[in-house]
Amino acid sequence: MSHAGEAIGPPLAAGFFARPAPRVAAELIGCDLRVLGIGGTIVETEAYDATDPASHSVNGPTRRNASMFGPPAHAYVYRSYGLHWCLNFVCEPGSAVLIRALEPRHGLGPMAERRGTVAPRLLCAGPGRLCQALGITAALDGAALDASPFALTGPETVPGRIADRRIGISRGVETPWRFLLAGSRHVSRPPSRHATAAG
């Protein structure tokens, strides 16, 4: 199993999220995310903002996306295609970062039980799998990221990052706002030919 290095840096303060979503999405790579102690290293994210045709917020606030227009450092949780929960971190108003994949590190037993598999590669590779493994549902929509049940810490050193086109969308497909941990086997999909190194 590939490891990103233990995320043993300081907890992420609320101010970390009060910035443009693409910058936050890139800097979340290598951070450690846990929900009630279960989680791992963030290896894949996607950014969305209020000017983005692929974003839920492009047409303004609705009942569904209300959390995206709330304060930074809160969760925005929605159900995709009526099937899977997706976890997002709210940044500036109308913008958020979708957490697409983790390298599982903490609580592999509970993750495996929730997912019905012990294969590490299949535990948290993809936003739906990730939420199932961590027990994330709509109950956490609007929850503060700097308080229980969430725990977020930064990496000890800045990891190698890749910027790529986002996936699973039909609009804004050329926007390079998907970020991945270089060399990770735990991303939902390998980098495409359009990928470049991210700062």
Task: Give percent of the chain above pLDDT 90.
Answer: 75
The reply to whether 196 falls in a domain is no
The alpha carbon of 180 is separated from its chain's Cα centroid by a whole number of angstroms, namely: 10
The reply to whether 67 falls in a domain is yes
Band of the pLDDT at 2, cuts 50, 70, 90?
Answer: very low
Per residue in 48-96, pLDDT (tens digit) is 998 876 666 666 788 888 899 999 999 999 998 778 999 999 999 999 9
Report how far residue 59's alpha carbon sits from residue 152's, in angstroms, rounded to the nearest whole number: 30
What are the two backbone dihedrals, phi and then psi, of residue 196, each rounded to the nearest 5 degrees? -140, 165
- CATH code of 128's domain: 3.10.300.10
Q: How many domains does the chain have?
A: 1
The reply to whether 7 falls in a domain is no
On the question of pLDDT at 140 being above 50, the answer is yes
The reply to whether 88 falls in a domain is yes
122-137 mean pLDDT: 97
Report how far residue 162's alpha carbon sits from residue 168's, in angstroms, rounded to the nearest whole number: 18
Per residue in 142-197, pLDDT (tens digit) is 999 999 999 999 998 999 999 999 887 667 677 889 999 999 999 999 999 999 99
Q: What pLDDT, on a 0 to 100 scale, did the predictor assign at position 55?
A: 66
The reply to whether 77 falls in a domain is yes
Comparing C-alpha atoms, which of 91, 110, 141, 95 is closest to residue 40?
A: 110
The alpha carbon of 57 is separated from its chain's Cα centroid by a whole number of angstroms, namely: 17
22-32 mean pLDDT: 97
The reply to whether 199 falls in a domain is no
111-140 mean pLDDT: 96
The reply to whether 130 falls in a domain is yes
Which residue segment(s) compose the domain that 140 sits in? 15-190
Total-model pTM: 0.92
